[in-house]
Structure 1
Amino acid sequence: MNNNDILIRLRYAFDIKDNGMVEIFKLGGIEITKEEVQMMLKKSDEDEVGMACSNSMLDSFLNGFIIFKRGKQEPKPGQPEKPAVAIKSKENVNNIVLKKVKIALALTSEDILAILEEAGITITKGELGAVLRKEGHKNYKECGDRYVRNFLKGLALRYRV
């Protein structure tokens, strides 16, 4: 899954309009126009290529999504003003998406397991814990496309009424 697919699926799951997407990007610290959002969300055909969503853009969108859902949090004394970019490589994108959507929606591990179950995927609590760990931890496990795809599908089933 590429970053544009993740944006498209999140947008569908929560029924976010173009103006809402622009606002979420703005909350995440990126100024983007409605036309650029539409280009990113366009299904790319072979002859027509939309705008690619970079890792930093996706990270900013996810940070904006957290603020959109939970509100702005004032930094504590000694804490950096702006969070560091969490998506460092193509390999950890899925893990970061899972973590940040979990934070934005205030989901518990049981909620995530239930959402995956709705989408037809069964994993253990231990496997989920390994996916949610910090990269570099001895029990860290890379999250595959299949889990994120079905997690986003489960979100659409749960939140899109």
Structure 2
Amino acid sequence: MTFNDVLRRLRFTLHINNEAIIDLCAKGGKELLPAKLDQYLKREDEEEYEECSAEDGSAFLDGLIIWKRGPSDGAPKAKGKVVLDNNIILRKLRIAFELRDTDMLRVLELAEMQISKSELSAFFRTPKHRNYMEVQSQLLRRFMVGLDKYLRL
């Protein structure tokens, strides 16, 4: 699942406009120009579509965490190459919306997807752990659908 899809779905779920997305990216430490955001929000088959960079996607999610939970008192953010895969997206959404295991299972249940608690915990392990599992795009898509329903309850 591309981050462009995640961005469009979160924009709809949270009822936020382009200015709010730009503000969240700024809170996450990255300036996003309105023209670039317009390219990210376009569908893949539209002209001028551009895939969202990992840096912009990560900055948006970090800004979302700050918006929902407040600034972190912890250590400064590590610098270097930003990786944004489905596991990291799921982890950041979990943090932003303060979801516990039971909440996440409920979100997936609302999207008509059943997984066990142990399967869920495997998504949050380090990649080198023997029980680590990659989050598939279908699960992340379903999670986003369920999150929309969960937040509207």
Q: Report 1:101-116 matches (<5 A).
A: 101-116=93-108
1:99 aligns with 2:94: no
Q: Distance in 2 between matches of 1:103 and 1:27?
A: 16
Look up the match of 2:63: 64
CA deviations on 1:92-142 (whole Å, 9 max, x unpaired) are 611011100000111001000000000000000000000111221121111
Identity of aligned residues (%): 36
**Which structure exhibits the higher relative contact order, with contacts defined as CA atoms closer than 8 Å and separated by 6 or more residues?**
1
Taking the aligned partners of 2:126 and 2:14, their CA distance within structure 1 comes to 27
Q: For each residue in 1:25-72, what CA deviation from the matched residue of structure 2 results, as whole angstroms up to 9, or x when unmatched?
A: 0011111122321221111325x1323201122111111111111111
Please state how far the C-alpha of 1:86 moved relative to its aligned partner: 8.2
Q: Indicate how the Cα distance of structure 1 residues 56 and 42 shifts in structure 2: closer, same or farther if over 3 A, else same.
A: same
Task: Output the TM-score relative to the length of structure 2.
Answer: 0.91
Cα deviation, residue 159, structure 1: 2.0
Give the superposition deviation at 1:160: 4.3
Asked if 2 retains the 8 angstrom alpha-carbon contact of 1:87 and 1:96, the reply is no
The residue number in structure 1 matching 2:123 is 131
TM-score by length of 1: 0.87
In structure 1, the residue corresponding to 2:85 is in which secondary structure? helix
Q: Partner letter of residue 78 of structure 2?
A: P
Alpha-carbon distance in structure 2 between the residues aligned to 1:158 and 1:87: 29
Distance of 1:49 and 1:43 partners within structure 2: 9
Cα distance in structure 2, aligned partners of 1:132 and 1:85 = 21
Q: 2:135 aligns with which of 140, 143, 146?
A: 143
Aligned length: 153
**Aligned ranges for residues 1-161 of structure 1 at < 5 Å?**
1-45=1-45, 48-75=47-74, 79=75, 81-84=76-79, 87-88=82-83, 93-160=85-152
Tell me, in whole angstroms, the C-alpha distance in 2 between the residues paired with 1:68 and 1:110. Answer: 23
